[in-house]
Chains A and B, each alone.
Chain A
Amino acid sequence: MLPHRLTARPRPGSAGFHRRLRDAAFVVPVFALLLLLPPFLNLFRVGRMLFGIPLEVVYLFAIWTALVAGAFVLSRHLPRQSEIGPEIDPEASTPDSGQADHS
């Protein structure tokens, strides 16, 4: 899920790496949302206990903790404004922005 687990990852700081991070920044909350919606959530509402705590509680807080950790990693690596310059669609990129992307 996180970029540094991907194989053959692009070099950190490169345009490809930034794009990948942006995609990851989108996937992490969306995927977490799916995990937090009923069909999934109800899988854990089975009346069991884990470490003496209801399983659904453990599950929710585990997802929450993972989200915080994921957000922490992402926010440390997502490009700063100075690094990406103006963002535009790849198709419509002007030469200026292309250069800024590689800097």
Chain B
Amino acid sequence: MLSPDFVIMTAVAYVGLLFVLAYVSDGFARHGRAGFLRSPAVYTLSISVYCTSWTFYGAVGTAASDGLEFVAIYMGPTLVFVGWWFILRKLVRIGRSQRITSIADLLSSRFGKSSRLAVLVTLIAVITITPYIALQLKAITTSIQVISSAQEGGSHLARIDNNRLALGVAIGMALFTILFGTRNVDAREQHLGVVAAIAFEAVVKLLALIAVGLFVVFGLGDGPADVYARALAAGVEIHESDPFGSRWVTVLLLSASAIICLPRQFQITVVENSDEEHLRTAGWAFPAYLLLMSLFTLPIAFYGLATMPAESNPDMFVLTLPMAAGQDGLALFAFIGGFSSATSMIIIASIALSIMVSNHVVLPLALRRTDHLADSGEQGIARLLQRSRRISIAVMLGLGFLYFRLTGETGALAPIGLISFAGVAQFLPALLAALYWREANMRGALAGILIGALVWFWTLFLPSFGTTSASIAALIADGPWGIAALRPQALFGMEGLDPLVHSVFWSLFLNTGTLIFASLLTPQGALDRIQAGMFVDIFSASRDVQAHPIRSSATTDDLFFVAERVLGWRRAQALFDADEIPRGESAADFAVGSDFVIRLERELASSIGAASAHILLSTAIAGDTISLEEVMRITDETQQVIEYSHELENKSRELREAARQLEEANARLQDLHRQKDDFLSQVSHEVRTPMTSIRSISEILLKELDLEEERRSRFVGTIHQESVRLTRLLDEILDLGALEGSERNWESRPIDAEAVLDRAIAVCEALARQKGIAVEHVGRPLAAPVLGDADRLSQVFINVIANAVSHNDADQPVIQVRSRIEDGQYVVEIADNGRGILPEYRQSIFDKFVRVQPESDRGGSSPGLGLGLNISHVIMQRMNGALELVDGPLPGACFRITLPLNAEAIPA
């Protein structure tokens, strides 16, 4: 057994370690070497302040009495963090951009910077969290009692009763929090020392719980299955006794809302966040942390139930199981783990509450009482804040201690965890409306939260004293003044429900209903509307508000005076210099931009909260022709004008685009029209030439009947020749029409292109021999399976080779045909050593009626019509191939024909 002296001294030493850790971290931060402290890992660990001693010890107790319900307490936060992209990311973004200092500040800032709302939220938070702090104190004293219970008397420390012990803990925590939690009042300068200590505590409590878990499951038991078997043998019900029902759903909902709405969670997740990207890690790492925390809860509970005496407290199994096995060291480690979870909650909760109390309660009161800030001096407000924060931390812990003192010996503290969750859950409807519902207004939020909190107080908080107070027990049984419909646990006659489910149902139902109806029925203030836009559309395009100079009787000196009182001379100076705002006599007529006023207000808000900042600046500009609301409204209108003109811009851009497309289509049509005209005139020209000669010759033949035979037959020969040319021309035009109009759709069949090429060369052989041209065929793949029409392909080959033959006028004319397979393509190059194609024709060679040789060179037996290459080109396109003019191996022209190989025919 451990002596109380030893346990208490260990706890004191541990707190000392936390002091050192926080001090060193703060030192690092001040010298700008806090990189590690701003890491996603530390951020994630600090979020685990969610796991208080209520979950450290209490989860096992819950598991022992209610089975798997404890899983719901972790599952809600798990779901919220897994879905971080939707709620948390928006929350953090808003928190950072609006310099939010607490959940009260967030709600008040969104709902028109309302002071009343901030005060209400602060009050509810204090009422719900103070018992929670008391619960932590109780956990610490109980655990010390349990771990050192065997020793009575002896040392003098053991004579310290629980109250003194709790007082000591409260004082120690207050000291720590005041020292490290109120170093600065600015929300953007995070409490890195505190966060470092919290992260360290997170590691300690996780390791402690896992160590105990491993010891119980594998040291005492023989694996998880053995633990369950033993529990079963001891007559413990290891299966869920009741079906999962409304209570499971309620706890799931409460825990999910608590991870956002609990002031300490909001403080750590939103206010202390230094980088939005950290959520990316926390999104999976925090659920993983929770999973590890609860992995051994059930085995510990069941092993304890199976082996410990019946009267032992299941809440303390984490301590008593190692102690019963004589593992004092492990028990001490577990104690430190529980101690860690309690202290970290106390520290963060009191920081969060003190910020809320000082910003939303103390400061507005102080501002109202002192009309003139003149007597406060430089940073007077900041110092006032710091002092009020320190005092409120002490008061908060004092209240917690008082609550502990009054209820500690009764059972009233035990269920306070979920009661507290249900209390802060009243912020949830307003919070979600703040993020997603533009029309929600201040009256709705205020009324909703107020009604919800009253119902919660009546149906859940008050009945928690039912076991200790006879009058409250009577109230629960009969209702106030005997009105049965108002009985706290059976409101309006809704009986038979679990009290928690009953309370959460009524409070959230009335809360949400009031929020919605009040918002719809009452008008939204100007500031409310502006803030709604900024919150709901936080991810939309950045709002570049145009500077709107305001003329006001408040000089820049007045504004500087306000800024200096809160931010201190140096920061105020930097802020004004950054915008080049002049001060002093010379600046009497200077018009300050509205954007600067807004920025100044935001800077102030990061220290004193949005509502107080607004009041402060409003008083500075008070009695002015132009109020701050006016400034805001102007900004909003400017914004709307900008949005409207954006819309107009978009519309006109669309119109311009449509007009451009029309123009293009028109140009294409005109081009086609011109091509058609050209084609027609070319065709008629081509037809006219042979027709003219046929007509003139036939006229001669008709008139001069006595022509000699030799001339007559020459004339008839010419007529025949010209009509053949005419027919060929018409044939080709028909061909072209067929190809382009796709009247005739030929079938693509698998063919061997190499065989087709062979046949085409054979056909041209005679023509070539006639002109004394040698046709060389080099390269040659064995076969070239392609998809196409053999006749058409042959037509292309013949056309190109015939062209090469007829246009080759070299001394030793040569035509080279190379065929090969390259990159899944069948490639044929037909080159000659003629004159080649003149550069000016290279572009248009494949157009209709383009003839390369000058007119004077024409004549001969087969003058080209200028359609052959065009037809070939179209055919190749139809077969998914290509016909191009390339630089060939010979001095003359070189045409390349490519066709994709038939993939199916290629053996894999």
* A residues apposed to B, CB below 8 Å: 22, 25-26, 28-30, 32-33, 36-38, 41-42, 45, 47, 49, 51-54, 56-57, 60-61, 64-65, 67-72, 74-75, 78, 80-81, 86-88, 94-97
Contacts and interface: CB of A to CB of B under 8 A. Distances in A.
B907 interface: no
Q: SS class of chain A's interface: helix, strand, loop or mixed?
A: helix
B86 interface: yes
A65 to B, nearest CB: 7
B646 interface: yes
Interface stretch (B20-28, B31-39, B245-253): B245-253
A52 B239 contact: no
A86 B542 contact: yes
Contacts of A61: 291, 295
A88 B243 contact: no
B326 interface: no
A41 B248 contact: yes
Q: SS class of chain B's interface: helix, strand, loop or mixed?
A: helix
A26 B75 contact: no
B226 A75 contact: no
A94 B541 CA distance: 9
Nearest to A46: B239
A74 B225 contact: no
B276 interface: yes
Contacts of A96: 541
Contacts of B287: 64, 67-68, 71
Interface residues of B, number: 45
Contact of A72 (B71, B238, B284): B284
A72 B284 CA distance: 5
Given A25-B86, A26-B83, A64 B291 contact: yes
B83 A38 contact: no
A67 B243 CA distance: 23
B298 A71 contact: no
B280 interface: yes
B243 A54 contact: no
Contacts of A94: 541, 646, 650
B85 A54 contact: no
Given A29-B80, A75-B280, 13 more contacts: A22-B85, A37-B252, A38-B249, A42-B243, A42-B244, A45-B239, A49-B228, A52-B229, A68-B78, A68-B287, A87-B539, A88-B540, A95-B650
Interface string B530-544: 000000000111100
A80 B281 CA distance: 12
A87 B537 CA distance: 9
Nearest to B224: A53
Complex A-B, nearest 6 residue pairs according to Cβ-Cβ distance, in ascending order: A52-B225, A29-B83, A71-B284, A72-B284, A87-B539, A25-B85
B281 A54 contact: no
B79 interface: yes
A78 B89 CA distance: 12
Contacts of B283: 71, 74-75
Contacts of B243: 38, 42, 45
Nearest to B647: A92
A37 B249 contact: yes
Contacts of A60: 68, 71, 75
Contacts of A64: 71, 75, 78, 287, 291
B240 interface: yes
Contact of A81 (B75, B229, B276): B276
A60 B68 CA distance: 9
Chain A CB within 10 Å — which of B287, B295, B298 has the most? Answer: B287
B728 interface: no
A67 B79 CA distance: 8
Interface string B260-282: 00000000000000001100110
B225 A29 contact: no
B317 interface: no
A86 B541 contact: yes
B641 interface: no
A77 to B, nearest CB: 10
A75 B542 CA distance: 24
A45 to B, nearest CB: 5
Nearest to A41: B244
Contacts of B85: 22, 25-26, 74, 78
Contact of B82 (A47, A54, A67): A67
B642 to A, nearest CB: 11
Contacts of A74: 82, 85, 283-284
A57 B68 contact: yes
Contacts of A57: 68, 298
A59 to B, nearest CB: 10
Given A45-B244, A71-B287, A80-B277, A87 B540 contact: yes
B759 interface: no
A1 to B, nearest CB: 12
B81 interface: yes
A67 B225 CA distance: 24
B374 interface: no
Contacts of A95: 650, 653
Given A28-B82, A33-B79, A72-B284, A54 B244 contact: no
A45 B291 contact: no
B276 A67 contact: no
A78 B252 CA distance: 26
B662 interface: no
Interface string B209-241: 000000000000001111011000000001110
16 contacts: A26-B85, A37-B249, A52-B229, A56-B68, A64-B287, A65-B291, A68-B78, A69-B284, A70-B82, A74-B82, A75-B281, A75-B284, A86-B539, A87-B540, A94-B541, A96-B541
A75 B226 CA distance: 37
B288 interface: yes
Contact of B539 (A51, A56, A88): A88
A97 B650 CA distance: 13
Given A29-B82, A56-B239, A68 B225 contact: no
Contact of B86 (A26, A47, A53, A65): A26
A38 B243 CA distance: 8
A89 B291 CA distance: 36
A69 B540 CA distance: 30
Contacts of B298: 57
Contacts of B229: 52
B576 to A, nearest CB: 29
A28 B225 CA distance: 31
Contacts of A51: 224-225
Contacts of B75: 36, 60, 64
A65 B290 CA distance: 11
Given A51-B225, A71-B287, A32 B539 contact: no
A73 to B, nearest CB: 8
Contact of A54 (B239, B284, B288): B239
A38 B225 contact: no
Contacts of B228: 49, 52-54
Nearest to A55: B239
B38 to A, nearest CB: 17
A36 B82 CA distance: 14
A64 B298 CA distance: 15
A94 B650 CA distance: 7
Interface string B658-674: 00000000000000000
A76 to B, nearest CB: 8
Nearest to B537: A88
Nearest to A56: B240
Given A75-B283, A96-B541, A38 B226 contact: no
Interface in B632-649: 646
Contacts of A97: 541
A74 B89 CA distance: 14
A42 B646 CA distance: 54
A30 B244 CA distance: 19
A37 B247 CA distance: 11
A102 to B, nearest CB: 16
A71 B285 CA distance: 9
